[in-house]
Structure 1
């Protein structure tokens, strides 16, 4: 044996009902034996490395079912605007960034993380004129935490050629003031008008960004991710992104298993991809092509999530559907007919209605039993949509960490009636729907223990509201852990090789500081990752 792990409290996660073991033997990057200390020690050889866990809890390596790894790495190089509490705070933080980095005039400044709902005074979006207070010689573009609103200063508008005469873009918009001049606020697809002007990173740049994200993910016990990268950086060059991943794999630097959620939002893009020979499942256990990913709408916070009814707190909008019904029908059908899984970002109920209609049409024309198509986020739902998940055997990709912010705004945005049937994870799970948990990082942190805590308590990280928001929708600890392990493996068609601690499976393991199944639920967020093992090797140790 290469390695033996002893004296652990090992939750195998073979099913949602916990079974326990004491020891694991690892050989050739796989789990060779799971059992008692005595059973596993019988396999020891002279060269076997022994790890004594001294009673620590062991789980399968965590699987984040939806995030943006490259976007996370890219944001690490940008101005971090998380936690800003005013427009003035944004202005000062960008000024400090330019000064600290000594950024020359004319160079682009990109920032991310501001959220107007956290502003202490007036909760409004910044405009071009606010960013002009930072500089009129640096082009500046800052994106809201949700990723669906971007603000540009006058220099950025100039470089992008955006004026009052610029046509609006379908599936998005840029705001105009009373004089019909652009305010610098861009929503949904209109954001592309700006990002197309920002210099494209090289393959080496992409690799460095990915490595930064991989290291941070490993420190959270994550060994597998399902990541949407193809439009994370300027250029939207999926060939370069695939090249970067292949080179990292060849160099032995991938300590995450990647399942690429392929954002290809036009027929030209998806046909180019398919003509290059890519399909769901292409690749190997380190990097694999996953589903066609589509953005059906925007975000609840920015009021761009597409609703069937007007926003309760802004009756002049129902959000922004990114596609017409005909467009999403065509994209889903082409993917389905070419052996591609489909995963569609839907936060609003209108986007979900459109997506389920497209999936149902594709299945009626070309039935496929085990398609594993799904909805990413699936937040604002009614009874019809909740039932539709089971009817179409669709996967629900949920992000429990979203509750940290969303519970405070849902009723205001959609009203009390629709609130009651939204974020209904327990209802979906009890009806037999496959639920896989993720983070949507960098929109939120990919700290898995925080995600499990919020799924189980239905509270934010400050412990509010008391008793939990809609507590009848709490998941058990076992269900939440399963959602971050075996359930994630199911969504990538890989439940036979990972997601649980079983003989013959990949040796991806996380060691926790406390037994997550025995401590009070409010303490889950305080658990620390002690060690992360990937391919049988330690890739993180506290």
Structure 2
């Protein structure tokens, strides 16, 4: 690997260059470098990058433009062309695992989820562990946490470990609790909770840092497992029009795996990876400096830190108690005394720090720490981020722009949380919750994503939620706190140019402008002119990265 400008450039083993190709007969949209929406009917691509838009009929007929020979012309058949969409916050291998494990997203009760687990266990009889994800007690009629006995009735011979939809709680059967040595006498870890019944016995649900009690016993990961997960996730994302994603928290094993895949030119999509702040090798990885693949398939120059838990499991850290649980304030996963060393080491090494904060307390202490760090050592130019930024004290909203800290947000979280968020925090605190338009108007870019597999990865679901503040059944009719909705242009920018900017990649990604990679999608409807309630129905017909077709319907 060559060290260039303080970063490592990874030389690809295979060329991705394409012949000069003219795509015609498209209804194209992109933002220009001034974030203005422009349209085009054709696009010329050479060596995997955009040469020009709207090539003249004269040049097209001559087969030559801008000293580039047009060797191939492709008819876009009147489809809508958009830049490849960028998901600014997801979990790539987590999505792959979710696609390969038992999926509980549609479960209607604990018993129904346990039945799905039993069916999966029967079909996968040789697996030593049964793992899965997606349960959400807030969608069940009793809205109660499940228990180990619910699972024991169906699967008792093998350990079962099922992660909640938000990834901030796990559900275990008795076999798993026994294997991990979790009893009524097990102390509750700092930043976590072992949910217990009236007799003090563990119920089978572990929240946030308590999940670490089980993790050492889970099946060992390997590059072969990572590869299966990567392939499954890559195919899924490309079919949904996502050409680039920001991977929110990878450990040393995945870090090494991604580099190997980049060197071998075997990454299916572009990855902006955040190193997990909890990885034991963090200081060593920071010492290696940023890593950027010459073909922009991999860029590692940020760290993901963990401030609190999730709202649904009451793990989000709040300044005042939960409205529906007055004895709870949520959980701080990174303790206050650990924040200064973390911020100083990451930002001091020239890495962007991306801090997970959902509750108003977690957001408040993160903003305070960013301000203190910038005063002490600088680093505001690194485009540091707060991931999720869901519930913010109103007086803290303007501080994002003042500090140049990007709120990296996920629109479908709002439409998923609308049935419980007000119960959790009360109407008064909703003033600073899911406040997309307020944050944007304060003068800060707003990178958007999905947080897959917590939410579905389809970016058109996110675009729809952003502009309607409704679920896909058009509820609520007038939108949920609709004054915070975005325009379609704002939402489009969040999934393209703002997301690229948040990953320090706006120089090569995010728009279809000359000199940038020709990453684009062809879709069946015009999201800028159709009724906004139908945006989520958009279907991807083809996906291209660097001018090469990587998905076709």
TM-score with structure 1 setting the length:
0.94
Q: Is 1:176 equivalent to 2:196 in the alignment? A: yes
For residue 20 of structure 1, the aligned residue among 39, 64, 73 is 39
Q: Which runs of 4+ in 1 moved over 6 A?
A: none
Name the SS of the counterpart of 2:522 in structure 1. Answer: strand
Q: 1:491 aligns with which of 495, 502, 513?
A: 502
1:335 to 346, 368, 373: 346
Aligned: 1:375 with 2:386:
yes
Partner of 2:6: none
Give secondary structure in 1 for the equivalent of 2:217.
coil
Aligned residue in 1 for 2:76: 53
The CA deviation at 1:390 is 1.1
Correspondences of 1:417-432 after superposition (within 5 Å): 417-432=428-443
Do the aligned residues in 2 keep the contact of 1:114 with 1:143 (CA within 8 Å)? yes
Give the conservation status (yes or no) of the 8 Å contact 1:22–1:37.
no
**What does residue 459 of structure 2 align with?**
448
Superposed displacement of residue 283, structure 1 = 7.2
Question: How many Å separate the matches in 2 of 1:284 and 1:48?
Answer: 23
Of residues 297-306 and 221-230 in structure 1, the stretch that sits farther from structure 2 once superposed is: 221-230
Q: Which residue does the alignment assign to 1:235?
A: none
The residue that corresponds to 1:80 in the other structure is: 103
Residue of structure 1 in register with 2:15 after alignment: none
Q: Please give the per-residue CA displacement for 1:77-115, whole angstroms capped at 9, x wherever unaligned.
A: 2211111111110111111111122236xx111121011
Confirm or deny that 1:464 pairs with 2:472: no
Cα RMSD after superposing both structures = 1.8
Q: 1:514 to 1:69 in 2, by over 3 A?
A: same
2:263 is aligned with 1:250: yes
For 2:56 and 2:70, how far apart are their aligned partners in 1?
A: 18
How far apart are 1:46 and its partner, in Å? Answer: 8.1
Query: Matches of 2:327 and 2:292 in 1, distance apart?
Result: 43
Task: Please state how far the C-alpha of 1:36 moved relative to its aligned partner.
Answer: 3.5
Report the equivalent of 2:284: 272
Residue pair 1:280, 1:339 contacting (<8 A) in 2 also: no
Mapped to 1, the partners of 2:418 and 2:180 lie a distance apart of 37
| TM-superposed deviation, 1:472 | 1.3
Q: Give 1:153's aligned residue.
A: 173
Q: Secondary structure at the match of 1:51?
A: strand
Of residues 184, 187, 190, the one that matches 2:207 is 187
Cα distance in 1, alignment partners of residues 241 and 59 from structure 2: 24
Question: Is residue 217 of structure 1 aligned with residue 237 of structure 2?
Answer: yes
Give the corresponding residue for 2:133. 112
Point out where structure 1 has 5 or more consecutive residues left out of the alignment: 231-237
Cα–Cα, structure 1 residues 429 and 71, in superposed 2: closer, same or farther, change >3 Å? same
User: What SS does structure 1 have at the residue aligned with 2:318?
Assistant: coil
Note the 1:13-412 alignment, pairs <5 A. 13-14=31-32, 15-38=34-57, 41=60, 42-43=62-63, 48-103=71-126, 107-120=128-141, 122-230=142-250, 238-265=251-278, 268-275=280-287, 277-279=288-290, 285-412=296-423
Residue 449 of structure 1 aligns to a residue whose secondary structure is helix
The equivalent of 2:529 in structure 1 is 518
Moved more, 395-404 or 156-165: 156-165
How many residues in Structure 1 have an aligned counterpart in Structure 2?
530
Contact 1:4–1:40 at 8 Å: present in 2 too?
Answer: no
293-302 vs 13-22, which moves further: 13-22
Superimposed CA distance per residue, residues 301-338 of structure 1 (whole angstroms, 9 cap, x where no aligned partner): 11111100111111110111112212122211110111
Alignment partner of 1:509 is 2:532: no
Q: Which runs of 5+ in 2 are unaligned?
A: 1-18
Distance 1:427 1:39 in 2: 47
